[in-house]
Structure 1
Amino acid sequence: MGRRERLISTSILRAIFKSKSKNASKSPSFLARILAFFSVFGLTLARYREELFKKLRNEIWRIEEEEYTESFRSPSYGKRTDLIPVGDLGYSGSTFFTTPNSKFLLKSLPRHFEQSFFRRRLLYPYTEHMELNEASLLVRITDLLYCPVTTLGAMLGSAPSHHIVMENILYGKSSCAKGDQKKWETYDLKPNDYFYPERDIAGGRLAPESVKERLIDEFPDKVRVNIDEKEELVAQLARDTKILQEANAVDYSLFLVRYPASMGTAEGGKIPVPPGRPSAWRNGLVSRDGKWIYRAILLDFFWAKDALQAKALTGLVNSFNFLKWGKNHGPMSITTSSEEYRTRFLRMVESIVEVPDSSGRPAGELRSPSP
């Protein structure tokens, strides 16, 4: 781990382990603000709406508080340790870590409009939805850490001022043998019929292959489940994406994980399941043919259609079309309407899930439930 990652890790751990005191709610002194301003990597972080997220963890998702806190300690020494950097998992420039036991994933939100959208517009609908929908597949966000004062590091972009802590549905992978870990497959799935400038303009010469490969994943197979499981999945995703549409969110994705069933089912106890309230698509659903175990959640719902960046990119696409740079291009996934994105997203889910017909042979697509 480099110096930057180590300092960011330390900042996160201090916020998690900081005891709640009578003085915790007091504003920092003028001197403290001056000293904090010159922080470049080691920012002072705090928990945002601490009691609200604790309620989500303990009452809604049934994650024991002691288990949660201990996830941030080294299992070997029973003390604080550095978080584990995961590397570059995305296209947004985010920094990723896992807790030492890999139960939880930490992701930075380096773009202001993302964390602002989540805090101001989505947090309360998200909380209410989670309370009313025990089987929701929206990723469980267990903490939001933020920097309460202005800092040089946040202004320069050398260290992120906001981080989310969320469930890690890859939990259990690290407990497998090295050879078996390579058998786990992950897919970050979005509708692939949108316009992606890096991929679609001028033969895709705007970005190298390494960048284009991270834009969208394509699932090369089918998710094989029974009819009830498919209907339940599509219905739940329809409910989950409804609140995202109402918040004008776009560009979210279905994070699909699969690993060979021969490695052991969750029921067999060989692969540990994520903590908290049990969920079929989190713990692992065995495929109809018995070859795979699937896990799935809904991720990355932090981009608002009416954000300034989305409006700017809409103008960019219109400029491309006006200049006749290739064929006319439709909307990008981040500039389309939230209703249109939801429709295409649910259509994509239906297209990758295969169920048998009455004769036992694979059937075509089922009609999605009414939004």
Structure 2
Amino acid sequence: MGRRQRLISTSILGAIFKTSHSDDRDKRPNLLGHIFAFFSVFSLPLSRYRAELFRHLRNQIWEIEEEEYTESFRSPSKGKRTDLISIGDLGYSGSTFFTSPNSKFLIKSLPRAFEQSFFRQRLLDTYAEHMKANPASLLVRITDCLYSPRTTLGALLGTAPDHHIVMENILYGKSSCSKDNQKAWETYDLKPNDYFYPERDIAGGKLAPESVKERLIDEFPDKVRVTIDEKEQLVAQITSDTKILKAANAVDYSLFLVRYPASMSSEGGKVPVPPGKGSPWRTGVTSRDGKWIYRAILLDFFWSKDALQAHAMTGLVKTFNFLKCGKDHGPMSITTTSDEYQTRFLQMVENLIEVPDSTGQPAGELRTPLVEA
């Protein structure tokens, strides 16, 4: 890691290793403390937001033991605090990502103020109640929310994010495989791909570098082959999960799909599964043909249709259409209505999955005609 990443890692770990009762009600610092905090550029003073709520979710709902959780952020070899593992910038938003030393948890920064305020002020309570009622929910399990309770130079200049979320790592187990087997793991960040993405579509797609556009929309080049019951359970769960997102006016969320060869589970022991209370699509669902293990969760539900940025982008699209900049561009995933986004998202999930029909053959495939005697 570079110096910036190491300092951000240090500030995250500083908040994680505070007592579980340390949150936004921390004792107010004196004037000197405010001054030192303000001039922080990379290593921002962070606190746990609503620490007791997240502790309850971890321990009581998802059954993640607190000692196991804390120890995940220590070096497994030294038993001491250590740097997080940087996995770079993985998104168009500019978010930075780390994993815990044992890869069980993923830390994502929320550099855009409207995303973190939407999650904390609009979605968090509904999210927590939904998780309590539906422990098997496929919404990603957010185990901590870290924030800077004071104004800092680093946040103002954008040199370091002042909000982070800690969440489960659905790829846990990959790092325990051999290097060759790690290459066989496939990941897909799936959204309805019939929306308009200006980074990809305007001016020949020159608004973003190729490295970003390649991550903008994934396409799964196959079908998820499961049983009818497994499909119905998955669609029902995703419908329930996206219902609360629709009610909060959230859009632009995605289905993060992982698959790896099922043969790995029979070679040298089973692939480790993410921590906490298991659910089929977290621990892994085996394809009907026995070739693949699938995992899936819902990610990135921090963009509200109400956000000022969404209104601004809507205006941008209308301007491009007015100027006849190529063909008329339809709605963007971040400017469409939450109801329409959910409808298209569920249709995407339906189209993604292949189940056998009443004859036992994959639905949608042409059957071989019977040969008359």
TM-score range relative to shorter protein:
over 0.9
CA distance in 2, matches of 1:235, 1:27: 46
Query: What's the Cα RMSD here?
Result: 1.6
1:170: how far off?
A: 0.3
Please give the alpha-carbon distance, in whole angstroms, between the structure 2 residues aligned to 1:182 and 1:156: 38
Q: What CA distance in whole angstroms lies between the structure 2 residues aligned with 1:120 and 1:200?
A: 33
CA deviations 1:319-351 (Å, max 9, x no partner) are 000001011111100000000000000000111
What residue in structure 1 maps to residue 202 of structure 2?
Answer: 201
The 5 Å alignment of 1:116-131 reads 116-131=117-132
**1:171 maps to what in 2?**
172
Shift of 1:203: 2.9
Report matched runs for 1:74-153 at 5 Å. Answer: 74-153=75-154
Extract unaligned runs of 5+ from structure 2. Answer: 366-373
Question: Contact conserved, 2:44 with 2:148, CA < 8 A, in 1?
Answer: yes
Partner of 1:270: 270
Farther off after superposition, 251-260 or 79-88: 79-88
Matched residue SS, 1:264: helix
Match of 2:230 in 1: 229
- TM, length-normalised to structure 2: 0.95
Shift of 1:22: 9.1
Normalised by the length of structure 1, the TM-score is 0.95
CA contact (8 A) 2:20 2:51 kept: no
Q: What is the CA deviation profile of residues 57-97 of structure 1, one whole-angstrom value per residue up to 9, with x for unaligned ones?
A: 00000000000000000010111000000122222101100
How far residue 252 of structure 1 moved from its aligned partner, in angstroms, is 0.1
Aligned letter for 1:205? K
**Aligned residue pairs: how many?**
364
> What amino acid is the match of 2:276?
G
After the TM superposition, which segments of 4 or more aligned residues of structure 1 sit over 4 Å from their partners? 20-24
* Residue identity (%): 78
Letter in 2 for 1:308: L
Alpha-carbon distance in 2 for matches of 1:22, 1:363 = 54
Q: Give 1:164's aligned amino acid.
A: I
- Once residues 307 and 48 of structure 2 are traced to their aligned partners in structure 1, the CA distance between those partners, rounded to angstroms, is 25
Q: Which structure 1 segments of 5+ residues have no match?
A: 366-371
Residues 265 and 293 of structure 1 are in contact (CA less than 8 Å); yes or no, is this contact kept in structure 2?
Answer: no
CA distance in 2, matches of 1:21, 1:336: 40
Distance in 2 separating the partners of 1:148 and 1:317: 36
Shift, 1:211, TM fit: 2.3
Q: What does residue range 178-197 of structure 1 map to in structure 2 within 5 Å?
A: 178-197=179-198
Bigger mean CA offset, 209-218 vs 174-183 = 209-218
Matched, 1:336 2:336: yes
Aligned-partner Cα distance in 2 for 1:269–1:237: 31
Q: Indicate whether 1:27 and 2:16 are aligned.
A: no
Rounded to whole Å, the distance in 2 between the matches of 1:49 and 1:159 is 22
Distance 1:257 1:77 in 2: 31
- Paired residue for 1:68? 69
2: CA distance between counterparts of 1:269 and 1:284? Answer: 15
Cα deviation for residue 20 of structure 1 reads: 5.5
Instruction: Tell me the secondary structure at the aligned position of residue 212 of structure 2.
Output: helix
- For residues 55 and 219 of structure 1, what CA distance do their matches in structure 2 show? 36
